[in-house]
Amino acid sequence: MQTNNELIKIFHGPQHPGITGNMSVELDLLGETIKGARTHVGYLHRGFEKLIERRTIIQAFTIVCRICVPEPDPNEENFARAVENLADIEISQRAKYIRVMVLEMARLGALFLWMGGQSGSIGLGTIGQWSVHDRDLILDLFEELTGGRVYHMYIYPGGVRRELPNGFLDRLSQLLDYLESRLPLYDNVFFDNSSFKKRAIGIGVVDANEALKNGYVGQVLRGCGIKRDVRKDNPYLVYDQLDFEIPTFEGGDVYARAMVRRGEIRESIKILRQVIKQMPEDGLIMQKIPKHRKFKLKKDDTFVATESARGEFAYYMAGDGTEKIRRMQVKGPSLIHGFTLLEKLLIDEELSNVAMIMNSLGICPPEMER
């Protein structure tokens, strides 16, 4: 900050309706224009990675989902897959399909919630009420399947924890019909809304030439027209057996990232319809796994990644031959987007655009401070 009193310093967050969680951005302002930005986290530091070092597999499993509130399931999937790699467990085809179903339902829920956040950041409050209601219908199904609405604790090393309730796939199919019927309404009030376009086009522009090298992921990449998605590039579960597209958009701005998400909602619905159709009727949902204290990981390490609704979620995991995890290191999309990218994008932007840019990047503090 300069010392000639030209700049004013303010903290955008952690107590601010336009901040995406418990974090703050320290801004140096010249009038309304941002001249410097620095991200601060630590308001939500719960020490997941440290806690996990003291825990056995089932004990660690109960806190893994809490790393990301809007979309906990990619964490469960990463955790389960990393443990399976280190314990040489192969899961059944049916369990893989159920996991894809859960992950895509979670993606839809997260995208609807994002729509509420993004529209709220520019004052379009009604859209949030609609989209959060529609997300609640997805949560109803989650509750029926797992017993939990937000944290599911369902994807466990070896498969999934419960069989699908009777008629669940039919109810999911009906919900997809309903959600699909809502999409033109969202187009009218949000994606094609001229107030949103006027605010979002040309704001928070990411340089496509730097995007890949700098480690940006998810909609930030795809909003620059770069077709990258872990589900296609490095497929896991049964994504290589499903037919879906990776939506992209040109421009690299807030609007492009929103339009990518618009496409992703449609693709998720398409994936879920295929899952319902192709779901194997037979197959163990859970492999025979060792009991609590006998569940040991070999002395080795692994790296797994899952495409979450906000981009690649990756875990490094090391075992040491005991029943406890030697090290689990989380890398969510927000680590790079919330620091390196956000601090860069905010320079020379207006103060009123901070919330909109943060929402478009999908920044979530718990995965930064783990």
Q: Which residues bind other proteins (CB under 8 A)?
A: 41-42, 45, 47, 49-51, 53-54, 85, 212-215, 228, 230, 233-234, 301-303, 305, 312, 314, 316, 318, 326-327, 329, 331, 335-336, 339-340, 368-369
Least distance CB 246 / other proteins (angstroms)? 11
Least distance CB 340 / other proteins (angstroms)? 5
Structure tokens at 220: 């930030």
Instruction: Identify which of residues 178 and 303 has a Cβ nearer to other proteins in the complex.
Output: 303
Identify any residues that bridge with 302 across adjacent strands, giving them in sequence order: 317
Instruction: Identify which of residues 120 and 365 has a Cβ nearer to other proteins in the complex.
Output: 365
Least distance CB 201 / other proteins (angstroms)? 26
Q: Give the phi and the psi of residue 131 in degrees, each rounded to 5.
A: -70, -35
Instruction: Identify which of residues 16 and 324 has a Cβ nearer to other proteins in the complex.
Output: 324
- Do 306 and 328 contact (CB within 8 A), yes or no? no
Neighbours of 356 (CB within 10 A): 24
- Do 116 and 127 contact (CB within 8 A), yes or no? yes
Distances from the Cα of 110 to the Cα of 132, 195, 353, 364, angstroms: 10, 23, 22, 12
Instruction: Identify which of residues 234 and 274 has a Cβ nearer to other proteins in the complex.
Output: 234
Instruction: Identify which of residues 88 and 282 has a Cβ nearer to other proteins in the complex.
Output: 88
Distances from the Cα of 43 to the Cα of 12, 24, 28, 62, angstroms: 13, 9, 21, 22
Least distance CB 177 / other proteins (angstroms)? 34
The stretches of 298-365 forming alpha helices (DSSP H) are 334-336, 342-345, 354-361
- For 78-142, the three-class secondary structure string (H helix, E strand, C coil) is HHHHHHHHHHCCCCCHHHHHHHHHHHHHHHHHHHHHHHHHHHHHCCCHHHHHHHHHHHHHHHHHH
- Rg (Cα) of the chain, in Å, rounded? 21
Least distance CB 327 / other proteins (angstroms)? 4
Neighbours of 347 (CB within 10 A): 12
Least distance CB 318 / other proteins (angstroms)? 5
Instruction: Identify which of residues 185 and 212 has a Cβ nearer to other proteins in the complex.
Output: 212
Reduce the DSSP state of residue 282 to 3 states and report it. Answer: coil
Q: Give the phi and the psi of residue 235 in degrees, each rounded to 5.
A: -60, 145
Instruction: Identify which of residues 67 and 138 has a Cβ nearer to other proteins in the complex.
Output: 67
Structure tokens at 23: 């974090």
Largest CA distance in the chain: 73
Name the amino acid, one letter, at 152: H
Instruction: Identify which of residues 199 and 310 has a Cβ nearer to other proteins in the complex.
Output: 310
